[in-house]
Amino acid sequence: MMSNAEIVRLKNGVNDHDHSQGPGSAPVTLLEYGNFECSDCRRAYPVIKKVQKVLNVNLRFIFRHFPTVRTHPHSLRAAEAAEAASVQGKFWEMHDQLYTHQQALDDDDLSRYAARIGLDIDTFTRCMADKTFLKQIEVDYQRALFDEHITGTPTFYINDVRYTGAIDEENLVLAIREADTEGRIPLPEMSGRLKRIFRRLHFRASN
């Protein structure tokens, strides 16, 4: 458990500009600063998917871009592709394509993913050629760098508090459950290790 001195809080709260999955009424929000070319983000991707499945409507997930082009030269164009897809209501479909095909992020690859998820290719191509979203991504990057002091990816926040624990299903679910101070997240129907963990947490809370 972190002491108060170690708690790092999110300065730029969730807003309408953010890409969000799950209801705004969810008791816990998990926010990620991510990079589509980052291998650690790629490893975190299926973990988040599992946690979302377990917690369902009790979790809202927010994704924010943090492309580090010096170490990940394709990350900025990949972020632009995700934003170009968002214009057509398919940010998350592109998000999934980029993480599941992380080794192929050239412009031709991005166009192929756009076609695969059913985007209007002319609109997508125009957005990419005009760099329509470049300025906004760069502004958001600077805000993350100087306001939040993000230095690498993935960086996670749970209910606006930076999470520094292990990025695995067990530890994330535990941290999310502990962040639910009102006890609104019920014990889910599950078997095995996670079920035992939830029961242990429930026992702690009632004693």
The CATH number of the domain holding residue 97 is 3.40.30.10
46: confidence class by pLDDT, cuts 50, 70, 90: very high
- The C-alpha atoms of residue 27 and residue 23 are separated, in whole angstroms, by 9
Which alpha helices (H) appear in 18-149, and where do they start and end? 39-55, 75-86, 91-100, 107-116, 121-130, 134-146
Q: Is the pLDDT of residue 150 over 70?
A: yes
Q: Is the pLDDT of residue 40 over 70?
A: yes
Q: Output the pLDDT for position 176.
A: 95
- What does residue 147 show for φ and ψ, rounded to 5 degrees? -85, -45
Q: Is residue 78 part of a domain?
A: yes
Q: Is residue 179 part of a domain?
A: no
Q: Output the pLDDT for position 89.
A: 98
Which alpha helices (H) appear in 117-165, and where do they start and end? 121-130, 134-146
Structural domain that includes position 71: 4-166
Q: Output the pLDDT for position 199.
A: 63
Q: Is residue 18 part of a domain?
A: yes
CA 49 to chain centre: 10
pTM comes to 0.89
In angstroms and rounded to an integer, the radius of gyration of the C-alpha atoms of the chain is: 18
Q: Mean pLDDT, to the nearest integer, of 174-203? A: 73
How many distinct structural domains can be found in the chain? Answer: 1
- The C-alpha atoms of residue 56 and residue 60 are separated, in whole angstroms, by 9
1: confidence class by pLDDT, cuts 50, 70, 90: very low
Q: Is the pLDDT of residue 71 over 60?
A: yes
Q: Is residue 122 part of a domain?
A: yes
- The C-alpha atoms of residue 33 and residue 181 are separated, in whole angstroms, by 24
